[in-house]
Structure 1
Amino acid sequence: MATDALNAVSDAEIIASSLNDPEAFAALFDSYHAMLYRYVSFRLGPEVAEDLVNEAFLIAFRRRRSYDLSYRDARPWLLGIATKLIARYRRAEVSRYRALERQHPLQRVEGPEEAITHDLIAAGARPALLHALSLLSRGDRDVLLLVAWSDMTYDEAARALDIPLGTVKSRLNRARRKVRDALGDVNPLKEDSDG
């Protein structure tokens, strides 16, 4: 299995190959479509996710010549494109959070965030969390959701948003503090350990 991982073609190699063979880019689509769809669907809802994800891949395809091939993993790049597209929908996103805050039950979306969402519903914290998210600035919300729900490292989030690492850390700290304050000093993004 370790040999397979060593022989695996990197995203950078796929992008480089697609410069001469555009169809090679389809491998990135196959690898990351589901992940991008979950992220965008959670942020904006499934009704716009497919279109936005397809637009993100179209932009990535058109910009593939400018991709920094020193980065083997294209996930931060693709999530950065998707996050910038999400920014266009900011008003709709905030409206959606506010509408979901008043609505029950949650329409489930498959993915890692499903477990978090399920726990929040069970704890009754969902409306408060959605309200807290709607009050965050776009930049703070983008960093928080990339790190918390897309499992990105701080460095990857900085690459995805094209901002300095220090900005990621300060935005994340501020967003977590505001969410905790809105939830009465409870951080729903971390599991409490008993004992």
Structure 2
Amino acid sequence: MAAVTPVPLRAGDDATVIERSLREPEAFAGIFDRYYDAIHGYAARRLGPSLADDVAAETFLVAFDRRDGYDLGRADARPWLYGIASNLIARHRRAEVRQYRALARTGVDTPAESHADRVAGRLDARAARGPMAAALDDMADGDRDVLLLVAWAQLTPQEAGDALGIPAGTARSRLHRARRRPRAALGETFEETA
């Protein structure tokens, strides 16, 4: 069996790699290598580190199994992968809601795993954790999914809509509605501490 030459990934090459993986399944490793850390990080923020490994691994198993249905007209596979991850996270919704409720009660976050997470979690964020977690807990599932895909996965509202299988206008409406709760929660928190 001939060795497969790895395909270096450039922005917009995802469709090419996925198409190649239909003939050479091992080429899909390029997609895995490129996006695993981002998908794992998103799952960890949503569900905590204990479930992130499973969700991230399952995301790529599902993506590999469904790669023949991937729209090759879409050069960027991120929205597709985040959509799969969001669907898997929905199965774990109860765990996510319990985490938000616990954070709302205690105001204590799970230990940060990376330097960027440790830096981002300091100062005013400590005061806002409880109210933010409560706002996320009270939010409708669809609104929360769009908000977190935009905020944590850094997708555009259009990409979040693609990931969730909803029209871009619906994603924008959900995002607008979802942003109101955290703003209200933060406003109350900082008014109380001021």
TM-score by length of 2: 0.85
Conserved in 2, the CA contact under 8 Å of 1:129 and 1:182?
yes
Q: Residues 82-97 of structure 1: matches in 2 within 5 Å?
A: 82-97=85-100
- Compute the displacement of 1:178 (Å): 1.8
CA distance in 2, matches of 1:156, 1:127: 29
8 Å Cα contact 2:12/2:75 also seen in 1 = no
Letter in 1 for 2:174: R
Q: Secondary structure, in 3 states, of the residue corresponding to 1:68?
A: coil
1:101, CA displacement in angstroms? 2.4
Match of 1:178 in 2: 181
Per-residue Cα deviation, 1:45-68 (whole angstroms, up to 9, x for no partner): 000101111111000000000000
Q: Provide the C-alpha distance between the structure 1 equivalents of 2:31 and 2:9, rounded to a whole number of angstroms.
A: 18
Specify which of 36, 59, 63 is matched with residue 60 of structure 1.
63
Q: Match for 2:113 among 109, 113, 137?
A: 109
Relative to structure 1, is the Cα distance of residues 111 and 152 closer, same or farther in structure 2, using a 3 angstrom cutoff? farther
1:72 is paired with a residue of what secondary structure?
Answer: coil
Over the aligned positions, Cα root-mean-square deviation in angstroms equals 2.3
Q: 1:131 to 1:157 in 2, by over 3 A?
A: same
Q: Give the alignment partner of residue 168 of structure 1, picking from 171, 174, 183.
A: 171
Specify the alignment match of 1:18 in structure 2: 21
- Aligned sequence identity (%): 49
Return the letter of the residue paired with 1:100.
Answer: L
Task: Work out whether residues 113 and 149 of structure 1, in 8 Å CA contact, stay in contact via their aligned partners in 2.
Answer: no
* Distance across 2 between alignment mates of 1:70 and 1:132: 37
- TM-score using structure 1 length: 0.85
* Greater Cα shift, 80-89 or 110-119: 110-119
Runs of 5+ consecutive residues of structure 2 not aligned to the other structure: 1-7
